[in-house]
Structure 1
Amino acid sequence: MHIEPKILDRINAWLTPSFDEETQATIKDSIANNPKDIQESFYKDLEFGTGGMRGIMGVGTNRINKYTLGKSTQGLSDYLHKQFPNETPKAVIAYDCRHNSKTLAKVVADVFSANGIEVFLFEDLRATPELSFAVKHLNCHCGIVLTASHNPPEYNGYKVYWQDGGQLVPPHDGAVISLINDLDYANIKFEANNDLIKYIGKDVDDVFIDASVKNGSVGATQNAKDDLTIVFTSLHGTSITAVPETLKRAGYKNVHIVAEQEKPDGGFPTVKSPNPEEPAALKMALELADKVNADIVIGTDPDCDRLGVAVRNNDGELQLLNGNQTMLMMTDFLLKQWKAEGKIKGKEFIASTIVSTPMLTKLAESYGVESKIVLTGFKWIAKLIKDFPELDFVGGGEESFGYMVGDFVRDKDAVTSTLLACEIAAITKANGSSFFNELIKLYTEHGFYKEKLVSLTKKGIEGAEEIKQMMTDARQNPLKVVNGSAVVKIEDYESATSKDMASGKITTLDIPKSNVIIYYTEDGSQVALRPSGTEPKIKFYVSVNSALDTIENFKTTETALDTKAETILKDMNLI
């Protein structure tokens, strides 16, 4: 197979003394024996997406390795010195259970310290929300977590946090990326100054867990807690370091942990994907829940920022909730608590994203609080807290199984959210209802909104081109009708425009640009198209809705909405 000259130039740059002998030997072997793989490894640079930099581990500019992470850390170090010229910048680093995470975290610490930056490095794996918390708690200028979230085992990644504990956002992200791109690999300082590296652990854990208990508790009595049976799985990830202890300190005693998935393991041996969005990931937890007659099942992803929840439905069967449903219940209970405590005074807000359920805005209106909608990714929700200091943030989430309770953590937080879900289950059960029944009540009050997501995976160079072409086609030949209902409005976030299809009038969207298109139809349905920022996927989000007059009509109405969502997807040739 012929390697393109442009790619060959990039490869040859790695066959110089700036790179160690092992890296060079691996490259030479791949050129000889696997030229397709080496092209994939070098045809581009890894980019920062919605969740930072994430990719397959290996050699090359398009892979996660000591050099790509070293270059990013060197650029970030240079930026920290520019931003804080009269201070000694401080950074805190955490990592998850993935292969090489511990080693790569030390590389990042070495580069920071070689650049005169004081480093707090967690002694062992920790949950991502604890890293976000630690940035503010330790008064750091930035934070790094080594994680690839719920991606397959061959992936790793690098998320960057700023002083507020939120992920890097404009203008800092663009400035850092610019510095990284201008760097030569030869400029990376790898020689550690170990005097500047301090290991941290239990001292931070205790403060974080206590804060999670405080923020995630919404008033369940001890009797209610004692009457709740919980099944929890960490899916081989970092949550085992925080969730069981948080539940224990909050007073929950009947917690059954899936033993086969308790030990952190970057190979994720018992699941095809360690993603709580995938029903199969919670199979073992659901089986245990049936054995112990659990009321609620919770599973978290490897870095413990997402959670999947299953509760008993009105037939007594365990039913998996989607991210929108969990988010609605959590937000409603937080707002109930704020209202009961007299804290709603007209300057509060909740937050969600453009591809999450529109029902959240209806919920906010009913409590008299503002609903702010941002681009996909919790960095944008965290940015709202910084941008609107005069407003009080209650909570916020997105459809992809993430939620943030209050502002003490500035990223999605499966530790505190797990506790909140258990509180809701305990309170509703004690009141003679259930988590599920209260969700249906919300539908009767605000309208029954049902969402469906389809992801198409398109790997490699060809896949990236295919995804790009699909978005180009959607812009050049937009849908006029979806499932028999006329498209009345199209929002294109890349051009930041909203077009009224009847009048042709175009208005500007006051939101950062992003590669997303949303169709709105006459019957109130929505369809969004969005390439993933962290995986080789293009995602299609469908939202349909209907009135629900009584709880008794829930199943019939749900079936009709599910059928409608599937018909839309078939109409678009997606299933």
Structure 2
Amino acid sequence: MHIEQHILDKVNEWLTPTFDVDTQNQIKEMMTTSPKNLEESFYKNLEFGTGGMRGIMGVGTNRINKYTLGKNTQGISDYLKKSFPGEALKVVIAYDCRHNSDTLGKVVADVFSANGIKVYLFSEMRPTPELSFALKHLNCHAGIVLTASHNPPEYNGYKVYWQDGGQLVPPQDEEIIQVIEDLKYSEIKFEANNSLIEYIDTEIDNAFVDSTIANASFNTSANAKANLKIVYTSLHGTSIKSVPSVLAKAGYTDVNIVPEQAEPNGDFPTVVSPNPEEPEALTMALALAEKLHADIVFGTDPDSDRLGVAVRDNNNKMILLNGNQTMVVMTNYLLEQWKKANRLNGKQFIGSTIVSTPMMLELASAYGVECKVGLTGFKWIAKFIKDFPELQFIGGGEESFGFMVGDAVRDKDAVGAILLMCEIAAQAKENKSSVHQYLQQMYVDFGFYKEYLISITKKGIEGANEIKQMMIDMRDNPVAEINGQRVIMVEDYLNSTAKNLLSGETENLTIPKSDVLIYYLEDGSKICARPSGTEPKIKFYFSVNTAIENLEEIPAAEAYLDQKITTIISEMQLN
């Protein structure tokens, strides 16, 4: 096959003595046996997306390896020195259960230390939210976690956190990327200064547990805690390091861990995907819940920032909640607690994202707080906390199964969210109710909102081009009518415009640019399209709603909304 010259130029650079012999041999092997794999490995440089940098492990510029991560780390080291001149620089590093995460974590620590930067390195795998917490706890300038979140086993990744504990956001992200791009691989300092590397574990663990309990506990009685039967699975990931100890110390005694999935394992052998967004991932947990007659089920992704939740419905059947449902339940509960404690005075806010349920705006309005809405990715919610220090952050989430309670952690945090959901469930059960009934009453009070997500996978170079073309087509030829409803507004976040299709007026969007399109229909329906920032996918988000007067109307309203979503998908030819 023909390989373009710019790719061959990169390949030849990686065959120089700057790179170790094993790397060179792997490249030579690909040149003879798998030119297609060679092209995929070098056709571009790995990029930072919505959740940091993720990629398949292997050799090449488009892969996760010691050189691509070493270059990142060297660039961040240089940028830190420029940003904080004269300061004694400190960073903290964590890693998850994935293959090579521990060795890659040590490579990153070596490069920082070789640049004279003090490194706190977790001695074993830890959840991502603990890294965010540790960064602030130890007064570090930056933090790194080696994780590919819920991606398949062949992936790994690199998330960068800044001084506030949140992920990199503008302008630091673009500035750092430029520094990294300008670096030569030969400039990476790999020789560690081990006197600058300090291993951390129990002391930070205890502080993280205590902080979680302080943030997510709301006067639940000991009896209510004892009566809540919980099933929990870490899906072979890092949450096993924190969730059991948090629940035990908080007073929850009936916690049943799925034994087959408790052992951390980068192959994730018992699931197709270690993603709690996928119903299949919680199959074993649901089976254990039926066996034990449990009240609630939790599952977390490998780095413990996302959580899946299942609860019993009115027929005592276990049902999975989606990310929008768990988000509004937790947010409404927090707002209730703040109101009960007379803590709401108009100087508080909740956070969400442009692809999440509009029901968050209804909650904010009802309680007299602001709802700040940002781009997809929790870094934008964390940025709100930094940008608006005069406002108190209550909590917030996004549809992709992430939630954050308070601001001690500045990223989505399954550990704190699990404890908060236990508080809600335990109190509801004590009051002869349930999480499901709590959610249903919210539909009566705030409107019945229903969301649905379609992800279309397009791998490799061809797939990336297909996704790009799909977005171009939707921009150049916007749909005028869907399901008999006129499209009244199109928001284009790449061009920063919001066009009213009825009046023809165009406004400028203030949210940073991103490849996202949102259609608003005249009946309040919302359709969003965006390429994933971390996976080879294009995602379509649907939100529909209707008003109901009482609980008895829910079955008919749900059937009506389901049909509406089905028709929209069919008309957009996405099924």
With normalisation by structure 2, the TM-score equals 1.00
Superposition deviation, residue 346 in structure 1:
0.8
- Name the SS of the counterpart of 1:320 in structure 2: strand
- Name the SS of the counterpart of 1:468 in structure 2: helix
Matches within 5 A, 1:425-440: 425-440=425-440
* Aligned counterpart, 2:460: 460
Letter in 2 for 1:359: M
* Contact 1:218-1:333 within 8 A present in 2 as well: no
- Name the SS of the counterpart of 2:342 in structure 1: coil
| 134-143 or 476-485: bigger deviation | 476-485
Instruction: Output the CA distance in 2 between the equivalents of 1:65 and 1:569.
Output: 40
Superposition deviation, residue 563 in structure 1:
1.5
* Aligned counterpart, 2:238: 238
Q: Deviations over 1:52-88 (max 9, x none)?
A: 1000000000000000000000000000000111112
Instruction: Output the CA distance in 2 between the equivalents of 1:219 and 1:544.
Output: 35
* Aligned counterpart, 1:412: 412
Instruction: Output the CA distance in 1 between the equivalents of 2:303 and 2:139.
Output: 22
Instruction: Output the CA distance in 1 between the equivalents of 2:67 and 2:86.
Output: 29
Instruction: Output the CA distance in 1 between the equivalents of 2:126 and 2:296.
Output: 24
* Aligned counterpart, 2:518: 518
Instruction: Output the CA distance in 2 between the equivalents of 1:157 and 1:468.
Output: 23
* Aligned counterpart, 2:159: 159
Superposition deviation, residue 432 in structure 1:
1.2
Instruction: Output the CA distance in 2 between the equivalents of 1:128 and 1:17.
Output: 35
Superposition deviation, residue 482 in structure 1:
1.2
| 3-12 or 441-450: bigger deviation | 3-12
- Name the SS of the counterpart of 1:220 in structure 2: coil
Tell me if 1:486 matches 2:496.
no
Superposition deviation, residue 562 in structure 1:
1.2
Q: Deviations over 1:392-413 (max 9, x none)?
A: 0000000000000000000000
- How many residue pairs were aligned? 575
* Aligned counterpart, 2:101: 101
Superposition deviation, residue 2 in structure 1:
2.0
* Aligned counterpart, 2:229: 229
Instruction: Output the CA distance in 2 between the equivalents of 1:559 and 1:426.
Output: 30
| 133-142 or 547-556: bigger deviation | 547-556
Matches within 5 A, 1:526-541: 526-541=526-541
* Aligned counterpart, 2:451: 451
Instruction: Output the CA distance in 2 between the equivalents of 1:41 and 1:482.
Output: 41
Superposition deviation, residue 220 in structure 1:
1.3
* Contact 1:218-1:334 within 8 A present in 2 as well: no
Instruction: Output the CA distance in 1 between the equivalents of 2:353 and 2:127.
Output: 23
* Aligned counterpart, 1:263: 263
* Aligned counterpart, 1:115: 115
Instruction: Output the CA distance in 1 between the equivalents of 2:449 and 2:289.
Output: 28
* Contact 1:349-1:391 within 8 A present in 2 as well: yes
Q: Deviations over 1:150-197 (max 9, x none)?
A: 000000000000000000011111110000000000000000000000
Instruction: Output the CA distance in 1 between the equivalents of 2:556 and 2:239.
Output: 38
Instruction: Output the CA distance in 2 between the equivalents of 1:456 and 1:212.
Output: 36
* Contact 1:57-1:63 within 8 A present in 2 as well: yes
CA RMSD of aligned residues (A): 0.6
- Name the SS of the counterpart of 1:174 in structure 2: helix
* Contact 1:379-1:411 within 8 A present in 2 as well: yes
Superposition deviation, residue 219 in structure 1:
2.3
Tell me if 1:368 matches 2:368.
yes
With normalisation by structure 1, the TM-score equals 1.00
Unaligned runs of 5+ in 1: none
Instruction: Output the CA distance in 2 between the equivalents of 1:570 and 1:228.
Output: 42
Superposition deviation, residue 503 in structure 1:
1.0
Q: Percent identity?
A: 65
Tell me if 1:31 matches 2:31.
yes
Instruction: Output the CA distance in 1 between the equivalents of 2:65 and 2:563.
Output: 45
**Poorly superposed stretches of 4+, deviation over 2 Å:** none
Q: Deviations over 1:493-538 (max 9, x none)?
A: 0011100001110001111110000000111100000000000000
- Name the SS of the counterpart of 1:337 in structure 2: helix
Q: Deviations over 1:291-320 (max 9, x none)?
A: 000000000000000000000001110000
* Aligned counterpart, 1:330: 330
Q: Deviations over 1:426-483 (max 9, x none)?
A: 0111111110001000000111000000000000000000000000001100111111
Q: Deviations over 1:198-232 (max 9, x none)?
A: 00000100000010011111221111111110000
* Aligned counterpart, 1:470: 470
Matches within 5 A, 1:376-395: 376-395=376-395
* Contact 1:44-1:61 within 8 A present in 2 as well: yes
Matches within 5 A, 1:134-153: 134-153=134-153
- Name the SS of the counterpart of 1:489 in structure 2: strand
Tell me if 1:201 matches 2:201.
yes
* Aligned counterpart, 1:178: 178
Superposition deviation, residue 553 in structure 1:
2.0
Letter in 2 for 1:327: M
